[in-house]
């Protein structure tokens, strides 16, 4: 039986974050084999996670990783039980690693993601290490990877509870100027702040429009308005609905004299070609 020194126990604790007694037990079980002791602790972390899986995990962060050419990006929401853990440097670093693994691999499920390698080990091993370190229910809730021909705008709100990706399609032989990039990112900030449901009125389903008009008309009639007047009121309120729920028709949060469509026109003048938004994705921590 190999001698287990205090230095060995401290080194293992620094590596895994596990308690001193747990580290000593693992080293004894591994007969002093440091790497085997790490694996033993990780497996214990995964095993204990099963017991914690029913506990609420309503905290966490949203992390984003972007490719060097800024045409591909990944976003992930990772949940934990407490804000204390969500703000911990180790948890934040782990979330960043997960986002980068998504960016650099083609995966569709969490199971596929956990099988991906990072620095010679699987993400599942890293995940088990985090479980062991914090003793909380920690889970990768959802993730997405997007690409665009032109640029992917991104925004993470302070506290990392809210993240946005916006894909822009355009063909440009030269690079995008810093001024244009700022506007492209500003629209991502717009999505974060104003939470639009649609890109433009052209994307609002007919049944949604019909339901909105019906509600506005019934409300006007209940207030004593004649049907023909109620119809005009409903159409007016529908325009307000478009201005609130359609991204391109919203008032630009950084300049109330502009709409987001006006900002897109500014971007087009800066890059010298047609720019289209193909999609926007907004992750707010814990939303259903």
- Under 8 Å between Cβ of 9 and 2: no
CB burial of residue 209 (10 Å; 0-12, 13-18, 19+) = middle
Give me the number of domains the chain comprises: 4
Note the pLDDT tens digit of each residue in 6-57: 888 888 777 776 777 778 888 888 888 888 888 887 777 654 555 555 567 7
Say whether pLDDT at 216 is over 50. Answer: yes
Is 238 a domain residue? yes
Residue closest to 221 by CA, chosen among 209, 212, 210, 233: 233
**Does 284 lie in the same domain as 158?**
yes
Is 270 a domain residue? yes
**What is the reported pLDDT for 228?**
81
**What is the reported pLDDT for 279?**
97
**Does 108 lie in the same domain as 48?**
no
Instruction: Please state, in angstroms and rounded to a whole number, the distance separating the CA atoms of residues 186 and 279.
Output: 15
**What is the reported pLDDT for 47?**
47
Write the DSSP assignment of 207-235 as a string of letters. Answer: HHHHHHHHHHHHHHHHTT--HHHHHHHHH
Is 1 a domain residue? no
Q: Average pLDDT, stretch 109-125?
A: 94
pLDDT band at 90 (very low <50, low <70, confident <90, very high): very high
Is 62 a domain residue? yes
- Under 8 Å between Cβ of 260 and 248: yes
Strand ranges (E), the chain: 59-66, 72-80, 117-118, 121-122, 139-147, 151-156, 162-169, 276-284
**Does 222 lie in the same domain as 110?**
no
Q: What percent of the chain has pLDDT over 90?
A: 63
The count of residues in the chain is 288
**Does 101 lie in the same domain as 64?**
yes
Q: What is the CATH number of the domain that holds 61?
A: 3.30.479.20
**Does 174 lie in the same domain as 255?**
yes
Q: Which residue has the higher pLDDT, 247 or 215?
A: 247
Output the pTM of the full model. 0.81
pLDDT band at 158 (very low <50, low <70, confident <90, very high): confident
User: Which of 54-58, 82-86, 88-92, 249-253 is predicted least confidently?
Assistant: 54-58
**Does 26 lie in the same domain as 112?**
no
In this structure, is the dihedral angle defined by the CA atoms of residues 96, 100, 101 and 106, taken in order, positive or negative?
Answer: positive
Could you tell me the residue range of the domain that residue 159 belongs to? 149-204+246-288
Alpha helices in 56-158 (DSSP H): 83-86, 89-104, 110-114, 123-134
């Amino acid at each position: 039986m190999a001698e287990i020194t205090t230095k060995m126990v401290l080194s293992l604790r620094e590596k895994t974050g596990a308690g001193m007694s747990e580290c000593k037990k693992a080293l004894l079980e591994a007969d002093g084999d440091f790497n085997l002791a790490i694996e033993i602790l990780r497996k214990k972390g995964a095993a204990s996670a099963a017991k914690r899986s029913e506990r609420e995990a309503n905290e966490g962060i949203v992390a984003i990783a972007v490719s060097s050419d800024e045409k591909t990006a990944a976003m992930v929401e990772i949940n934990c039980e407490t804000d204390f853990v969500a703000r911990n440097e180790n948890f934040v670093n782990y979330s960043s690693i997960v986002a980068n693994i998504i960016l650099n691999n083609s995966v569709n499920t969490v199971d596929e993601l956990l099988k991906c390698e990072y620095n010679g080990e699987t993400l599942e091993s890293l995940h088990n290490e985090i479980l062991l370190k914090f003793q909380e229910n920690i889970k990768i809730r959802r993730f997405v990877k997007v690409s665009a021909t032109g640029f992917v705008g991104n925004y993470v709100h302070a506290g990392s509870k809210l993240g946005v990706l916006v894909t822009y399609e355009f063909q440009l032989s030269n690079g995008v100027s810093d001024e244009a990039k700022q506007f492209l990112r500003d629209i991502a900030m717009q999505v974060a702040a104003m939470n639009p449901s649609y890109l433009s009125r052209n994307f609002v389903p007919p049944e949604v429009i019909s339901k909105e008009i019906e509600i506005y008309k019934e409300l006007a009639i209940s207030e004593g308005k004649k049907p023909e007047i109620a119809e005009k009121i409903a159409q007016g309120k529908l325009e307000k609905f478009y201005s609130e729920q359609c991204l391109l028709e919203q008032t630009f949060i950084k300049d109330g004299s502009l709409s987001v469509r006006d900002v897109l026109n500014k971007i087009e003048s800066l890059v010298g070609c047609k720019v289209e938004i193909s999609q926007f994705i907004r992750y707010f921590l814990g939303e259903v």
